[in-house]
Structure 1
Amino acid sequence: MEVALVILVVALALGFDYTNGFHDAANAIATSVSTRALTPRIALIMAAVMNFAGALLGTEVAETIAKSIVDFQDAAPHSQLVVVLCALIGAITWNLITWWFGLPSSSTHALIGGLVGAGLAGGLGVYGSAIVDKVVLPMIFSPLVGFGLAFVIMVLLLWAVRNANPTRAMRRFRLSQTVSAAAMALGHGLQDAQKTMGVIVMALAAVGWATPGEIPLWVKLAAAGAISAGTYAGGWRIMRTLGRKIIELDPARGLVAESVSAVVLYVNAFALHAPVSTTHTITSAIMGVGATKRLSAVRWGVAKNIAIAWVLTIPAAALVAALFTLVLRPILGA
């Protein structure tokens, strides 16, 4: 029974990784596509390749997910597997709901919410202080940093090119966006694929097939492949929201938004080991560069709907995961 549960959890984790890819494909390429720096198909291929590469660059975020959210130390292997299974169901459900409505919510927070909800419903403890330090605080500060930094850099860039030929400058910004979009896609793979690795390691560790601090190579390759495949499948509903509904982007603003977002992702992954949301980061950066035109240039009604989805993500995914845990525990004998 436990072997079958491990296989099911791994399959669901890779399924979540796939939904993460097409749900968050817009994070990396929406700005480049909307400014016509890249064609949609070329942008998706580039994003898929860079997502795969980013997934193999580190394991710190994966270890945070595996060891710092739910306390599995005194739980039976069967119970651990049921909790992880229901956490994934909660995360996938919320991903599909927000994708359907074209809302760029966070797959990261959906997964963490699922783990917290399933863990509590399954009678396990959660690491409250670690969640505050590694999840809640980055969730608050990363969008603020993304907005503020993007606004300041955009103002400085506009001042620096104030006397430049507009047509020539925009052509250069459009070419530069190829690099910034690639950097953003690399950061997305670095952050988001690692979260799936952490979940798979939880399942393997429950039956003694791995330890939380060690991620087998096949797990890295499988997670990298799943998120790359999902990214290539595209997420056109959310791409339209990020690329056009918040603000009409030009190449200069697209370049700054992508560059700032990539820096925030790298700092959190390598320095803070915090699983931040690529969605929150790029969306707030787009708002920041948009606000340099004028505050009214940002469609704040759309931004409000996105913010509501952000606030609801963790509790909604937690609720779905908790309900599935309460239903499935007796059926699966946990």
Structure 2
Amino acid sequence: MEHVTLLLAVVIATALVFDFTNGFHDTANAMATTISTGALNPKIAVAMSAALNLVGAFLSVEVAKTISGGIIDEHGIDTQVIFAALVGAILWNLATWLLGLPSSSSHALFGGLIGAAVMSAGVSAVNGGTLVTKVLLPAVAAPLVAGLAALIAARITFRLGKHADDEATAKGYRAGQIASAALVSLAHGTNDAQKTMGVITLALVTGGVVAPGSNPPVWVIVCSGLAIALGTYIGGWRIIKTMGTGLTDLRPQQGFAAQTSAAISILASSHLGFSLSTTQVCSGAVMGAGLGRKGGSVRWSTATRMAVAWCLTLPAAALVSAGAEFVAGRGTWGVVAVGVVLVAASGAIWLAARREPVTAQSVAAPATRPAALTGQEQAGDLAATIPGPPPAAATAQRSAAA
């Protein structure tokens, strides 16, 4: 650490800020369905997810190695390029969080790295083969695979429990959801926390602190794990609301199927070093599970908004980061100017979010309605569906008519 310059320290701090935004942006991946079905209290859910994100960060470094030495060529890349890439990724994360859109933090980071690297060193700075095989192909395949697996799993669970007591079945699957949500959180730590590890390691390589091809130092793993865990604990309630109730209505059986399918997909990809988007995988699994119940449906308007955000994420982050690199490459004043813009824009987004806050109470599952209603409750429900004057006003009208 004795060779760390001020700029490198700023880049490391900015990378940890990105990791923090990644945490609260992606909390919904693991916990949205668990919260929406009432399997866990919202705050307990995010605390559990945070702890398991931290554990997952220590399980593998394959994805980190893909980031640090695979997507862009570290030779000829300066430290401010990494800074510019992180600026684009952070701003996109915050903007989509404000809108409640579960976009990909991973693709925001990839777009940032690509845009800044191309602005600095040209198209040759991007390793096209690695980008296609490790990022783009998994981005297309993983959500489809997870969605199909979740659809099949949901149909199987409903078929197996066709003659079972609904309440007992739901209770059992809520318990299963807790376990599957824990697995998704662990998988998220193995994949997304490593992306920040890879970025910091790449910055250390460009700064001459570690040799090219090195694994992330232990302190990088610890800091990255803590940052994403803290962000997860804060809870991205806006995106949890979209994933939990805005995309489809899930029963515990469907939530269990979605989370299990997503966790298996993420863990398999992490093992292979594929830096996929956990957001896209989990969203695909939720949609598949939503269609897995007879009569189930997906709110395609919400799904379309998400798909548009997915398509825009990488190029939008690339453009912002390219602009940031153009300014930062002018010298010290440029780096300072980009930093000021980042802080100001982040503050403006935070103030905008406070005007329409979404809290843990906003995403908590509603109280379960009793299965059987009394005759008076049924009559009350029927009366509530018939337009007309209130009961007292109706009685007065009948008296006057008599």
Q: TM-score range by the shorter chain?
A: over 0.9
In the alignment, structure 1 residue 281 sits paired with structure 2 residue 281 = yes
Give the C-alpha shift of residue 11 in structure 1. 0.2
Shift of 1:320: 0.3
**Offset of residue 296 of structure 1:** 6.7
Counterpart CA distance in 2 for 1:207 and 1:115 is 16
Q: 1:102 aligns with which of 100, 103, 124?
A: 100
Task: Give yes or no for the alignment of 1:172 onto 2:136.
Answer: no
3-state SS of 1:182 partner = helix
- Percent of aligned positions that are identical: 43
RMSD between superposed Cα atoms in Å: 1.5
Distance 1:280 1:12, change over 3 A: same
SS at structure 1 position matched to 2:78 = helix
Match of 2:5, SS?
Answer: helix
Residue 135 of structure 1: aligned partner: 135
1:247-303 CA distance string (max 9 Å, x none): 111111111100000000000001x21011110011110100111235772100000
Bigger Rg, structure 1 or 2: 2
Q: 1: distance between equivalents of 2:151 and 2:255?
A: 12
Q: Return the match for 1:3 from 5, 8, 20.
A: 5
Match of residue 23 from structure 1: 25
Show the counterpart of 1:217: 218
Report the residue type matching 1:31 in the other structure: T
What SS does structure 2 have at the residue aligned with 1:133? helix
- Between the aligned partners of 2:200 and 2:4, the Cα distance in structure 1 is 14
Q: How far apart are the structure 2 equivalents of 1:228 and 1:132?
A: 29
Specify the alignment match of 1:93 in structure 2.
91
Name the CA shift for 1:163/1:296 in 2 (closer, same or farther; >3 Å).
Answer: closer
Distance 1:293 1:157, change over 3 A: closer
Name which structure has the greater RCO, CA cutoff 8 Å, separation 6+. 1
Pair 1:200-2:210 in alignment: no
Q: 2:51 aligns with which of 14, 34, 49?
A: 49
Aligned residues: 329
What is the distance in 1 between the residues matched to 2:57 and 2:85?
21
Contact 2:56 2:190 in 1 (8 A): yes
For 1:80 and 1:145, the matched residues in 2 are separated by 38
Residue 249 of structure 1: SS of its match in structure 2? coil
- Inter-partner Cα distance in structure 2 for 1:13 and 1:177: 32
Note if contact 2:155-2:293 (Cα within 8 Å) is conserved in structure 1.
no
User: Residues 168-225 of structure 1, C-alpha deviation per residue, up to 9 Å, x if partnerless?
Assistant: 1111001111100100000111110000000000111122222333211100000000
**1: CA distance, partners of 2:292 / 2:27:** 26
Select the residue among 63, 67, 90 that pairs with 2:69.
67
Match of 2:351? none
Give the whole-Å Cα distance in 2 for the aligned partners of 1:294 and 1:280. Answer: 24
Taking the aligned partners of 1:325 and 1:275, their CA distance within structure 2 comes to 24
In structure 2, how many angstroms separate the alpha carbons of the residues matched to 1:331 and 1:222? 28
Question: Residues of 1 paired with 2:214 and 2:4: CA distance?
Answer: 21
Amino acid aligned to 1:220: I
Asked if the contact 2:78–2:207 (Cα under 8 Å) also holds between the matched residues in 1, the reply is: no
Unaligned runs of 5+ in 1: none
| Distance in 2 between residues matched to 1:207 and 1:80, nearest whole Å | 8
Letter in 1 for 2:36: S
Greater mean deviation of Cα atoms: 100-109 or 151-160: 151-160
Corresponding residue SS for 2:331: helix
Amino acid at match of 2:98: W
SS at match of 2:32: helix
Alignment match, 1:314: 314
